[in-house]
Structure formats: structure tokens, C-alpha cells
Amino acid sequence: MTTTMASSRDLKFKVHTKVGRPLAEVFEAVYDPGRLKGYFTTGGASAPLDEGTRAMWEFADHPGPFPVDVIRMVRNELIAFEWDAQEGGYRTRVEMRFEALDAKTTLVTISESGWRDTPTGLESSYGNCQGWSQMLSCLKAYVEHGINLREGAY
């Protein structure tokens, strides 16, 4: 009897946080480019995250711009987009889900998947996991308290 194991890993992750604000307010803070640049895209965001839109995101700490191609948007529920993997030649998929836990609390969950099982793919997935975790912390501070945690950090 021969047993074989798959040699590839499914490189993906999921992070989440609760934000103490109503669902529509939290969704707008991600969807609207003016709000998004107030705490995350420190170099700017070119467009709202409407389905079929290509938005350009720029960050002070990473040279860009980064094209973000929105493949699905359901207001107050989901923003899904694809963007280029760091090692080039393919794209990863990001899904941001928004769920009202009550009238004043929103759960935001971000998942990203699609990296190739290479050393660079693995390293990039870890880096993006860290980045999305930071984004959620920055979102929470910005929406709940008007604080931009990224200002002066990079």
C-alpha cells in the first residue's frame, strides 16, 4: 500500500475585529476612498470600492500604487477584490465581510487567499496577514475615536 500526501499548502488566512459603531458607518469607512485614506491608504485611494472598479491604493510604507480590482460589492455586507501577488504572475483574493452584531457593534472579517506554495508566497501571506490585522486595528481606532494610528508610524 502506498500513501501520498499533497505537497502543496492552501495559503490563506482570516482576521477579524469588532468595531463599536453601526454597520453602515463601518462599511463606509472601508468603501469610501476619503475615509480609507484617513487611517489606512496613507498615500491615497483613487475610487470607492464599487463592483467592477479598479481603485489605486498607495501607502507611505510600501511603494505603489497597488491596483485593486473589485469583483463583488454588496453594500453593508461584502467587498471582494483581487490584486497582484508580491512575487508577480498571479493574483490573490481579499474578502471583507461586515456583520452587525447589534445596533452599535459591527464584526469585520478579512480573508485573503491564493498565494502559490513558494517561499515568497508564504512570506507574502504572512506579511499581508500582518497588514490586514493592522488595518483592522487602525479602522477601529479611526471609526471609534477619530485617531489615525498610521500617521507618523511609517
Residue 47 falls inside a structural domain: yes
Domain membership flag for residue 5: no
HEC secondary structure over the chain = CCCCCCCCCCEEEEEEEEECCCHHHHHHHHHCHHHHCCCCCCCEECCCCCCCCEEEEEECCEEEEEEEEEEEEECCCEEEEEEECCCCCCEEEEEEEEEEEECCEEEEEEEEEEECCCHHHHHHHHHHHHHHHHHHHHHHHHHHHCCCCCCCCC
Q: Is residue 20 part of a domain?
A: yes
**What averages of pLDDT result for each successive group of 10 residues across the chain (154 residues)?**
44 97 98 96 95 95 89 98 92 98 98 95 94 96 95 73
Residue 3 lies in a domain: no
Could you list the residue range(s) of the whole structural domain that residue 29 is in?
A: 11-145
The pLDDT value given to residue 1: 37
State the total domains in the chain. 1
CATH number of the domain residue 107 falls in: 3.30.530.20
Task: Give pLDDT, residue 154.
Answer: 65
Whether residue 128 is contained in a domain is answered as yes
Does any domain span residue 1? no
Domain annotation covers residue 151: no
Kindly report whether the global pTM for this prediction surpasses the value 0.75. Answer: yes
- In this prediction, residue 5 carries a pLDDT of 35
Residue 6, in any domain of the structure: no
